[in-house]
Structure 1
Amino acid sequence: MRRWGLTIPLSGLPLTAHRELVERLPDLGYTDAWTSETAGADGFSPLLLAAQWAPRLRLGTAIVPVYTRGPGLLAMSAATLADVAPGGFVLGIGASSPVIVSNWNAAEFARPFARTRDTLRFLRSALAGEKVTAEYETFSVEKFRLERVPDPAPAIMLAALRPGMLALAAREADGAITNWLAAGDVPKVRAALGPDIELVARIFVCPTEDREAARAIGRLMISSYLTVPVYAAFHDWLGRGELLAPMRRAWAEGARKAANAAIPDEVVDDLVVHGSPAECREKIQAYVDNGLDTPVIALAGQIDDPVRLVTALAPG
């Protein structure tokens, strides 16, 4: 099945004002709606609404952190969504980042690979209705059992940027979720993941033919994200470290404008899709042609007419 996803909610549009847009998505050719969780809407609430407005959509979190909810609460949140959208919900979990986990949520960002692995294993048991008493490496649980067990249990995917987490996703999860990669990077990620497991990627899309405006938006986003250690390591692995080194140095020195200016045009053009809607669709399709299963559009920049843009970016 050909998949084509959209990130919700859209910036600047109240949650309740999304109804008309979300209802139209399946008829436009969209198969999926995915959320994120940083400092805006939480990862679950927009999907509860979308489940009522467009039951044909597959719904997913990309991603909710494994640190900011206790294991039991995370299982309850996932079970609630799976109950509302039976067979149509994907729980995407991941380590997130020290800023979100520690600076904003007062939790310790420690041993991210182990914590993600342990949470995945706990969730497999809990969402199957088992009573869980277990000593994991990073936490312990005693006599937890869901009162409302979802049927079927939701698929679980892992946020994965590098070979270790991609291999864990291939061994124990139902898919891998990544972002901040170019179409040309997909074969390397796919090779590390393997051929037989779903690969989802959020793709940042700025649908404008004003190239310089799109690049300005892209530079602000890239300097904010790719200076985070996990993303810096990801792009070192992808072979982009040397190109991004001047940005990183300027950022570390507190020179934000210089950091933005140091990002080469070729990096912005690789990582942020821009152009006319038709050009954007072609560039998104290039990710699929290179081995991506599920592209998830994330609109970037000022969105004056979201319904028009989402319609224009539909797969056709």
Structure 2
Amino acid sequence: MTQLDSGALGRIGVTLDVRADGGHRDDAAMLESLGYSTIWIAGGQLATLDPLRDVIRATETIPVGSAIIPARMYASDSVVALRRDLEAVDPGRLITGLGGAHGDRPLRAMNAYLDSLDAADPPVPAGARMLSALGPRMLELSRDRAAGALPLLVTPEYTARARRILGEKAILAVMEYVVLESDPQLARGTVREPIGFLTQVGGYARNLLRMGFAEEDIAGPSDRLLDRLVAWGDIDTVAARVTQHLDAGADQVVLVVQPTDPDTVPHAEWRALADALIG
């Protein structure tokens, strides 16, 4: 895959949790059979890059993306080796999602990382990689030096602004937390901890402030913030939020499905969402 295409990427992607027992391989095959367009593996679970290989080997044709490979954890040569190995046996399957260039100068750090990917032999082409972008300058970098952007913890209003910055050609894949639960207390409680953790990482808090949230919303996180960032409720409510992102300019909405029981895998939710959103 030298150039990602928004049409081939599809409209509905989904994240997959890595399981210690290896069950994520069977989960990946199930997600492909349900018709999801893309499987994404969250970077916080990538203690190694092996799960990306595992999921590609466990599926037939579905694109598999890293969301994201954190630059602060993995040297560029690890990413080059991963892509080289997978292209040799399953060409066109890996979407190289990159991010995690935190610190005082994240833009400079990411530019340097991309320089090293460009200079590698073989390179990781700009058209085969996406960036976990939030702020305007990182979105511009996603437009200029990648196939597009993969933002998390954003609203449909943000999606519209991001599309204006990216222009018409760059891909915008928006990650959306989903809880299929209509009880407000239970739904919010399901995502309060993971979202609260993310707001302490990197540029998420800064971006939430840019989006109009107050510091007390972020510190909670407040019910207001959770209600704006999470699609919770019944299937129709979730479908409406997905439609809002797509109408605002997203090429793909990536469902980050959170079961109310943290010890379960959301097989039932994946099936219900596939029936409603993919048909």
Normalised TM-score (structure 1):
0.76
- Cα distance in 2, alignment partners of residues 32 and 207 from structure 1: 20
Distance in structure 2 (CA, Å) of the matches to 1:41 and 1:69: 10
2:210 match: secondary structure: helix
Q: How does 1:14-33 map to 2 (within 5 A)?
A: 14=20, 16-33=22-39
> What is aligned with 1:103?
none
In structure 1, give the amino acid aligned to 2:154.
L
Contact 2:159 2:174 in 1 (8 A): no
The answer on 1:308 being equivalent to 2:261 is: no
Does the Cα contact within 8 Å between 2:127 and 2:147 map onto a contact in 1?
no
Going from structure 1 to structure 2, the CA distance change for 1:302 and 1:83 (only over 3 Å counts) comes to farther
- The separation in 2 between residues aligned to 1:171 and 1:3, in whole angstroms, is 23
Aligned-partner Cα distance in 2 for 1:285–1:181: 14
- Larger-Rg structure: 1
Q: Distance in 1 between matches of 2:126 and 2:171?
A: 17
Report the equivalent of 1:69: 74
* 1:273 aligns to 2:243 (yes or no): no
Local SS of the residue matching 1:30: coil
Distance (Å, rounded) in 2 between the aligned partners of 1:126 and 1:57: 26
In the TM superposition, residue 124 of structure 1 has moved relative to its aligned partner by 2.2
Matched, 1:123 2:117: yes
Conserved? CA contact 1:43–1:64, under 8 Å: no
Where do residues 251-266 of structure 1 align in structure 2 (5 Å cutoff)? 251=219, 259-260=220-221, 263=222, 265-266=223-224
Instruction: Please point out which of 47, 67, 71 is paired with 1:42.
Output: 47
2:271 partner letter: T
Give how far 1:70 is off: 2.1
1:265-308: CA deviations, max 9, x gaps?
A: 33211101111234323322221121111211112242545222
Q: 2:160 aligns with which of 164, 179, 187?
A: 187
Q: Is this contact kept in 1: 2:182–2:232, CA < 8 A?
A: yes
Tell me the C-alpha RMSD between the 2 structures.
2.4
Deviation at 1:232, TM superposition (A): 1.4
Matched-pair contact (CA < 8 Å) for 1:8–1:46: no
SS of alignment partner, residue 297 of structure 1: strand
User: Which of 227, 230, 233 does residue 203 from structure 2 map onto?
Assistant: 230
Aligned to 2:92: 87
State the distance in 1 between where 2:202 and 2:70 align. 16
What is the aligned partner in structure 2 of residue 141 from structure 1? none
Aligned to 2:216: 246
Q: Distance in 1 between matches of 2:91 and 2:231?
A: 33
Which secondary structure does the structure 2 equivalent of 1:6 belong to? strand
The residue type equivalent to 1:220 in the other structure is E
Could you tell me which amino acid in structure 2 is paired with residue 117 of structure 1? N
Contact residue 9 and residue 15 of structure 1 kept, 8 A: no
The answer (yes or no) to whether the contact 2:217–2:224 under 8 Å persists in 1 is: no
CA contact (8 A) 1:91 1:154 kept: no
Aligned mates of 1:293, 1:58 — CA distance in 2: 15
Distance 1:78 1:43 in 2: 14
Alpha-carbon distance in structure 1 between the residues aligned to 2:202 and 2:116: 27
* TM-score, reference length from structure 2: 0.85
- The size of the alignment, in residue pairs, is 266
Structure 1: which 5+ residue stretches go unaligned? 98-108, 130-149, 252-258
Letter in 1 for 2:165: A
> Equivalent residue of 1:178, what SS?
coil
Whether the aligned pair in 2 keeps the contact of 1:160 and 1:169 (CA below 8 Å) is yes
**Structure 1 partner of 2:244:** 286
Decide which of 37, 50, 54 is 2:59's aligned counterpart. 54
Q: What's the secondary structure of 2:72's corresponding residue?
A: coil
* Aligned 8 A contact 2:126 2:145 in 1: no
Structure 2: how far apart are the matches of 1:154 and 1:165? 16
Shift of 1:41: 4.0
CA contact (8 A) 1:3 1:294 kept: yes
Report the Cα distance in structure 2 between the residues aligned to 1:194 and 1:58, rounded to whole angstroms: 24
Worse overlay, 118-127 or 220-229: 220-229
The farther-off stretch of 212-221 and 115-124 is: 212-221
CA shift, 1:127, in A, is 5.1
1:113 aligns with 2:83: no
CA distance change for structure 1 residues 69 and 14 in 2, over 3 Å: closer, same or farther? closer
CA 291–26 in structure 1, closer or farther in 2 if over 3 Å, else same: same
What residue is the counterpart of 1:138 in the other structure? none
Q: Which runs of 5+ in 2 are unaligned?
A: 1-6
**Identity in percent:** 26
Amino acid at match of 2:261: Q
**Structure 1 position 92, deviation (Å):** 0.9
